[in-house]
């Protein structure tokens, strides 16, 4: 380790001469690299977006970039057809009705289970955790028929059935994530709380839950998005309360590629997940947790 | 310390544990564990679950090429995908941490997940389409490709008579015997679509030999209705702008000429002898056809890239969350102690991120093995076999047509078994971690 | 923080309330999710159509693959509406798309199937019968079938002589669609024999027009090519033998048919984008390759539903831009041979309302409702042919009605695991062949192995 003094200074945010220039350059390079990566990431989506603004007949004639040389071609027709369809809009509402509880339930249950598996000692705890994680393996297709039978038995149909199924299949990953995250919390904190005589519930709700927000938030985002975009589970269990994915699928003509309806549907459908992302990502901010450890 | 309160506490904590864990366990037990066990049970039975067949399904599973290809592809996915995505996610999480617009960046990477996995198939078909007119990737490659080997004026044309020799480079040549009265040498072309005929093109002429010259036409040797090949007929137009070269018997060039609107060319002052008439291959050069990214050999790598596009956001967000919760004080302490950024990263950040990285990696590995929607969405029907993975094979067996539940279940069990080593590794890491706690 | 938690719980409760309420809110023709056994007094409306047995007007669930809000779904809904008007029986229509076999088998296995389902393949009918999932419809629809359909259709809907299904919507699969202008510009008339077709292809190629577009990404298009050819080269009796797997796929007759097929679609120059390119082109795109704005070929072969695709997805006009010729005869085969496919309605729950519906679907009146809307063909002899929406549609139906021999799509008759599964069996084998036509022996051997497994 050479030039320790210079390095130490730069760690605290700035120094003289070479260190500063180096830091500045590095920062610029990082910015550029990330900007390029972001651009590449966006391009495929941009392709579909431009396609959604083109008339249906032009798909398959030429690539979406040719739309820019024929600007008159741009049309909002695909979108207006989508938005003008009352049934389709109703199905978007159905999707909300499905996705919100199907997110809240597993997240909440996983937080509780994760905490217990991380910090409440009981016999067989670790084995139980591993079994839960092992369930990540089970493909949901295999559970369709047994679940159908159980729902029949309970006379549970429609949207609530979809909630239960999504909760079940969201749990393994959720528990996995939350338990591992909670396990990383400092022992000292837990010890202190216990010594203070706090009950498990108090520890959970007042300490662990707030500290676990980043993980909880990212979990919520993914669970929400997954259930929001689901097609198969809703197709099998939702009955007449079709979410927009099923509704779009219904409209695909028998032989067309369906881009004319899928393209606007994709972007309209992405609005809510993106909004949720924005709502929850604040909780990732580093500063939030800095002092709360005390 | 076996004090009264301690014992009571332990009892109380067991109760609490039950309350905390039970709801999740009940739902998991009914909807995940029970179906899993039922699947194992079903795997020993026949198509619709009636007759017991023992290990027949397992034996049958490996008989078809399809399954073997599926295993191979699943292996590829498992070997490449988790490592690739976790690494990319980690790198991006660390880099993104340093910029101001990190939320926007995360959003951009998150967008693919917000879009259904099925529609990412459509999105990427627009990128991967084999035709340079439709697929973004091929269109991009076509830009330099069309400069290196540009499309000829009469792309794809072939000679109408067998007597024309096709050179190794695609050029056409025809032997010409020149006598004292000169010679006429015509070359007819076929497969010239109407769109390729130039505006200035007119009816091909029938030429008579002229002393001391080689003359002839290069013309479109086809017309509607009765049509004799090799003969210039009415309604058959000449093809202008073609460079013809005259080469003497020993290969040395004698001259070159360009065809006129009626397809005619002329070489003057030609001594009697044997010559070759040549049409350059470049006129016939076809446009670059584009790489078939979704063809049998490339479809799996292509799909893995799509997988990266979708899942990197997941890795980024989760690892980012882990990064956000790191105790800054520890990092600062390390920096103050004089560690370089790289050392801080390797010695402090990485180990602290251990559990989170573990979650991401294991999840991605299991997802790689369960990969299904994406492949169905992206692979055209003709390459489903080449893109096949175990989860897809299971789906096709159990659910398409009326399905073979026994065989499908056996494949699912096979999938479970494959994941066991990962679980075992996880278990070991887990034990080590718990030991530390 | 606490506020957020309360909000979440409140939201969840609101969801539950809303969700339970929203189940009755849907726009298909139904007045609520009343259980099928609900008793309400008959309203006394006399049905104009044949006597519907004393059905207690309840609600039945009908499942089909036509999306409830797509063109076909809307048309079928009109048929169902007419049924409701005539019988007082409410219908809850569920359109599930391509996943119908999966959804249906899940619901059958789970014990809660729909009352009536419209199956896209008769192979599925056979499979369901062997599962014991279907109920015979002889009493309800037998008479209608005998009155309006030729025996061939009754047989297709039966297993071991018992009638299980009514073929409601059928397709003439021996129609070859071509670009009218490409033909007239090159003074080409539609070929009447296969040999003519090969020579016409050569002429088109010479003129710089790629003859044929093939949607090889969808294996079923290739299977339809094969079936038409096999029917003509091997004859109807041998066709039946192959579809029942009484002769193996390695039989010489099969080999001959493949080699004949190769004369056109095995020729890299004859197929738009070449053989490997064709494997990337789906059926819908193959139609656009001929009739879209940037055509790459002049001919595309598929069933009469191509007309619907052309009208919906391109701006080509019937007669002036597109037309069809009947699949040509091969080596002197009877020009009247026709290949067909269809959707068959079956009953999964034994109740009078379901039976009433299938009976209704066998009547000419039911067929005429959809026929008037276009994109529909019926095998019902008594449908007034002037009601068909387009001239071309009418010609296609007449081709079926007047056929000297009708055969059903082989892939749809055979057990679906072999005959109609993407990427494997029949369809997959044909795709493997298209990729490399010279590898015929291998392809046939694999197909035979998979067929043997599926047929046992």
Question: B64-138+293-436 falls under which CATH superfamily?
Answer: MetI-like (1.10.3720.10)
**Does A140 reach chain C within 8 Å, measured CB to CB?**
no
Query: What are the backbone dihedrals phi and psi of residue C149, each rounded to the nearest 5 degrees, phi first?
Result: -120, 150
Q: At what angle do helices B102-114 and A259-281 cross, to 10 degrees?
A: 140
Note whether C206 contacts B193, CB cutoff 8 Å: no
Query: What are the backbone dihedrals phi and psi of residue C337, each rounded to the nearest 5 degrees, phi first?
Result: -70, 130
Closest C-alpha to A272, from A98, A84, A110: A98
Low-confidence ranges of chain B (pLDDT < 70): 1-13, 49, 118, 401-403, 426-427, 430-431, 433-437
Domains, in order of start, for chain A: 4-75 (no CATH), 79-290 (1.10.3720.10)
Which whole number is the average pLDDT over C273-286? 91
**Structure token pair of residue B407:** 């065989």
Ranges B92-106, C86-100, C195-209, most confident: C195-209
Q: How far is B142 from chain C (nearest CA, A)?
A: 17
Residue C31 has pLDDT above 50, yes or no: no
pLDDT at A283 (0 to 100): 63
pLDDT at B186 (0 to 100): 92
Contacts of A199 in chain B (CB under 8 A): 16
Note whether B356 contacts A128, CB cutoff 8 Å: no
Mutation pick from A138, A173, A265 vs chain B, by most beta carbons of B within 10 Å, is A138
More confident residue, B404 or C430: C430
B250 DSSP 8-state letter: T
Per DSSP, which regions of C302-404 are E strands?
Answer: 322-326, 337-347
Note whether B399 contacts C101, CB cutoff 8 Å: yes
C130 falls in which pLDDT band (50, 70, 90)? Answer: confident
Degrees (nearest 5) of the Cα angle A164, A170, A171?
90
More confident residue, A125 or A198: A125
Q: Which of B353-362, C21-30, C332-341 has the lowest mean pLDDT?
A: C21-30
Mutation pick from A254, A258, A282, A283 vs chain C, by most beta carbons of C within 10 Å, is A254
Note whether B193 contacts C127, CB cutoff 8 Å: no
pLDDT at A255 (0 to 100): 61
Contacts of C68 in chain A (CB under 8 A): 250
Q: Is A257 helix (H, G, I), strand (E, B) or coil?
A: coil
Contacts of C283 (CB under 8 A, 6+ apart): A255, C215, C217, C218, C220, C221, C302
Q: Across all residues in chain C, what is the average pLDDT?
A: 83
Hey, which chains touch A, using 3+ CB pairs under 8 Å? B, C
CATH for B158-284, among 2.60.40, 3.30.460, 2.30.30, 2.50.20? 2.60.40
**Structure token pair of residue C340:** 């067909």
Residue C29 has pLDDT above 70, yes or no: no
C262-300 in b/e burial notation, b at 16+ Cβ within 10 A?
eebbbbeebbbbebbbbbbbbbbbbbbbbbbeebbbbbb
Which whole number is the average pLDDT over C314-325? 91
pLDDT at A10 (0 to 100): 35
By CB atoms closer than 10 A (0-12, 13-18, 19+), residue C104 is: buried
Which whole number is the average pLDDT over C44-59? 39
Contacts of B192 in chain C (CB under 8 A): 208
**Structure token pair of residue C140:** 């309800």
pLDDT at A294 (0 to 100): 31
Domain boundaries, chain B: 64-138+293-436, 158-284
Q: Which residue of A has its CA nearest to B328?
A: A290
Domains, in order of start, for chain C: 54-172+340-405 (3.40.190.10), 175-326+416-455 (3.40.190.10)
Q: Which of A84-88, A102-106, C322-326 has the lowest mean pLDDT?
A: A84-88
A31, A169, A284 ranked by CB distance to B321: nearest: A284
Count each helix (H run) and each strand (E run) in chain C, helices first. 20, 12
Residue C39 has pLDDT above 60, yes or no: no
Contacts of B48 in chain C (CB under 8 A): 131
Q: Which residue of C has its CA nearest to B403?
A: C417
B186 DSSP 8-state letter: -
Q: How far is B408 from chain C (nearest CA, A)?
A: 12
pLDDT at A157 (0 to 100): 84
Residues above pLDDT 70, as percent of chain A? 86
- Tens-digit pLDDT profile for residues A29-46: 888 999 999 999 999 988
Q: Which residue of B has its CA nearest to C447?
A: B64
pLDDT at C137 (0 to 100): 93
pLDDT at C363 (0 to 100): 92
Contacts of B356 in chain A (CB under 8 A): 180-181, 184
Q: Which of C16-25, C393-402, C420-429 has the lowest mean pLDDT?
A: C16-25
By CB atoms closer than 10 A (0-12, 13-18, 19+), residue B87 is: middle
- Whether C219 and C434 have beta carbons less than 8 Å apart is answered as no
By CB atoms closer than 10 A (0-12, 13-18, 19+), residue C98 is: middle
């Amino acid at each position: 380790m050479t030039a320790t003094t210079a390095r130490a200074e730069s760690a605290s945010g700035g120094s003289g001469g070479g260190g500063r220039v180096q830091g500045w350059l590095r920062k610029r390079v990082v910015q550029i690299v990330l900007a390029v990566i972001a651009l590449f990431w966006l391009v495929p989506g941009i392709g579909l977006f431009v396609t959604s603004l083109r008339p249906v007949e032009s798909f398959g004639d030429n690539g979406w970039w040719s739309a820019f040389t024929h600007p008159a071609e741009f049309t909002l027709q695909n979108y207006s057809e989508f938005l003008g369809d009352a049934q389709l809009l109703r199905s978007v509402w159905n999707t909300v009705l499905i996705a919100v509880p199907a997110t809240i339930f597993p997240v909440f249950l996983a937080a509780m289970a994760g905490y217990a598996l991380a910090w409440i000692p009981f016999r067989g705890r670790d084995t139980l955790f591993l079994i839960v994680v092992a369930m990540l393996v089970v493909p949901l297709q295999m559970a369709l028929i047994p679940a159908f039978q159980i729902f029949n038995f309970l006379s549970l149909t429609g949207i609530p059935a979809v909630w239960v199924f999504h909760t079940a299949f969201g749990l393994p990953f959720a528990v996995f994530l939350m338990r591992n995250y909670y396990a990383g919390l400092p022992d000292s904190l837990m010890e202190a709380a216990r010594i203070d005589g706090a009950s498990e519930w108090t520890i959970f709700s007042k300490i662990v839950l707030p500290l676990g927000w980043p993980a909880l938030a990212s979990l919520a985002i993914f669970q929400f998005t997954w259930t929001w975009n689901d097609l198969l589970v809703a197709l099998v269990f939702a009955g007449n309360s079709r979410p927009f994915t099923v509704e779009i699928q219904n409209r695909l003509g028998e032989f067309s590629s369906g881009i004319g309806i899928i393209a606007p549907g994709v972007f309209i459908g992405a609005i809510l997940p993106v909004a949720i992302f924005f709502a929850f990502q604040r909780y990732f901010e580093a500063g939030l947790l800095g002092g709360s450890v005390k | 310390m076996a004090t009264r309160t301690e014992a009571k506490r332990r009892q109380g904590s067991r109760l609490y544990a039950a309350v905390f864990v039970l709801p999740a366990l009940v739902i998991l037990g009914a909807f995940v564990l029970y179906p899993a066990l039922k699947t194992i049970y079903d795997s020993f039975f026949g198509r619709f679950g009636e007759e017991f067949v023992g290990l027949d399904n397992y034996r049958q599973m490996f008989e078809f090429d399809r399954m073997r290809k599926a295993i191979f592809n699943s292996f590829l996915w498992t070997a490449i995908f988790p490592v690739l995505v976790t690494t990319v996610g980690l790198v991006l999480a660390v880099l993104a941490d340093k910029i101001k617009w990190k939320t926007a960046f995360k959003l951009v990477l998150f967008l693919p997940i917000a879009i259904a996995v099925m529609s990412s198939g459509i999105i990427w078909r627009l990128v991967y389409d084999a035709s340079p007119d439709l697929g973004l990737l091929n269109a991009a490659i076509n830009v330099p490709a069309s400069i290196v080997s540009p499309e000829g004026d009469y792309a794809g044309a072939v000679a109408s008579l067998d007597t024309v020799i096709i050179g190794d480079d695609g050029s056409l040549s025809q032997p010409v015997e020149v006598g004292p009265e000169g010679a006429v040498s015509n070359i007819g072309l076929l497969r010239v679509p109407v769109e390729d005929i130039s505006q200035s093109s007119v009816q091909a002429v029938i030429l008579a030999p002229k002393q001391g010259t080689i003359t002839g036409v290069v013309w479109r040797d086809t017309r509607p209705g009765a049509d004799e090949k090799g003969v210039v007929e009415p309604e058959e137009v000449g093809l202008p702008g073609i460079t013809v070269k005259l080469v003497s018997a020993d290969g040395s060039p004698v001259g070159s000429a360009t065809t006129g609107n009626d397809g005619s060319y002329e070489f003057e002052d030609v001594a009697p002898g044997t010559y070759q008439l040549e049409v350059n291959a470049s006129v016939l050069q076809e446009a670059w056809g584009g790489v078939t990214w979704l063809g049998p050999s490339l479809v799996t790598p292509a799909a893995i890239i799509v997988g990266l596009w979708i899942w990197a956001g997941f890795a980024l967000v989760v690892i980012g969350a882990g990064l956000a919760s790191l105790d800054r004080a520890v990092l600062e302490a390390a920096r103050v102690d004089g560690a370089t950024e790289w050392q801080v990263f390797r010695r402090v950040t990485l180990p602290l991120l251990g559990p989170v990285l573990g979650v991401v990696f294991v999840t991605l590995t299991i997802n790689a093995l369960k990969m299904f929607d994406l492949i169905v969405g992206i692979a055209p029907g003709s390459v489903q076999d080449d893109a096949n993975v175990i989860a897809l094979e299971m789906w096709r067996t159990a659910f398409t047509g009326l399905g073979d539940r026994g065989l499908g279940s056996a494949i699912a069990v096979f999938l479970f078994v494959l994941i066991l080593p990962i679980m075992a590794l996880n278990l070991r890491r887990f034990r080590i971690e718990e030991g530390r706690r | 923080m606490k506020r957020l938690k309360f909000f979440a719980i409140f939201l969840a409760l609101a969801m539950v309330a809303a969700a339970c309420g929203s189940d009755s809110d849907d726009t298909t023709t139904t007045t609520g999710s009343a259980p099928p056994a609900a008793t309400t007094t008959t309203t006394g409306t006399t049905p104009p159509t044949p006597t519907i047995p004393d059905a207690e007007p309840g609600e039945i669930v009908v499942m089909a693959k036509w999306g409830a809000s797509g063109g076909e779904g809307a048309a079928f809904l009109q048929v169902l509406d007419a049924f409701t008007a005539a019988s007082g029986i409410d219908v809850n229509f569920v359109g599930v798309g391509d996943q119908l076999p999966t959804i249906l088998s899940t619901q059958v296995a789970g014990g809660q199937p729909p009352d009536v389902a419209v199956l896209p393949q008769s192979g599925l009918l056979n499979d369901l019968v062997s599962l014991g999932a279907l109920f015979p419809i002889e009493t309800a629809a037998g008479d209608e079938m005998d009155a309006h359909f030729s025996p061939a259709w009754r047989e297709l809907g039966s297993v071991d002589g018992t009638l299980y299904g009514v073929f409601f919507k059928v397709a003439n699969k021996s129609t070859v669609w071509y670009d009218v202008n490409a033909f007239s510009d090159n003074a080409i008339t539609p070929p009447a024999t296969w040999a003519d077709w090969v020579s016409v292809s050569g002429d088109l190629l010479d003129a710089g027009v790629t003859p044929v577009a093939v949607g090889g990404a969808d294996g079923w298009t290739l299977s339809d090519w094969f079936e038409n050819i096999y029917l003509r080269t091997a004859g109807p009796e041998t066709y039946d033998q192959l579809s029942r797997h009484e002769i193996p796929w390695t039989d010489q007759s099969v080999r001959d048919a493949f080699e004949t097929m190769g004369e056109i679609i095995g020729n890299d120059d004859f197929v738009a984008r070449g053989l490997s390119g064709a494997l990337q082109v789906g059926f819908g795109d193959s139609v656009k390759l001929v009739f879209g704005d940037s055509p790459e070929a002049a001919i595309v072969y598929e069933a009469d539903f191509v007309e619907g695709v052309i009208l919906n997805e391109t701006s080509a006009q019937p007669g002036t831009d597109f037309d069809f010729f009947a699949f040509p005869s091969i080596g002197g085969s009877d020009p009247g041979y026709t290949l067909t496919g269809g959707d068959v309605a079956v009953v999964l729950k034994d109740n009078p309302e379901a039976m009433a519906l299938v009976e209704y679907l066998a009547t000419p009146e039911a067929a005429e409702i959809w026929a008037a809307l276009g994109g529909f063909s019926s095998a019902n002899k008594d449908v007034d042919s002037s009601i068909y929406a387009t001239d071309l549609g009418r010609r296609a139906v007449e081709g079926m009605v007047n056929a000297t021999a009708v055969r059903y799509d082989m892939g749809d008759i055979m057990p679906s695991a072999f005959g109609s599964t993407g990427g494997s069996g029949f369809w997959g084998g044909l795709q493997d062949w298209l990729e490399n036509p010279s590898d015929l022996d291998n392809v046939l051997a694999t197909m035979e192995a998979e067929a043997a497994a599926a047929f046992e």
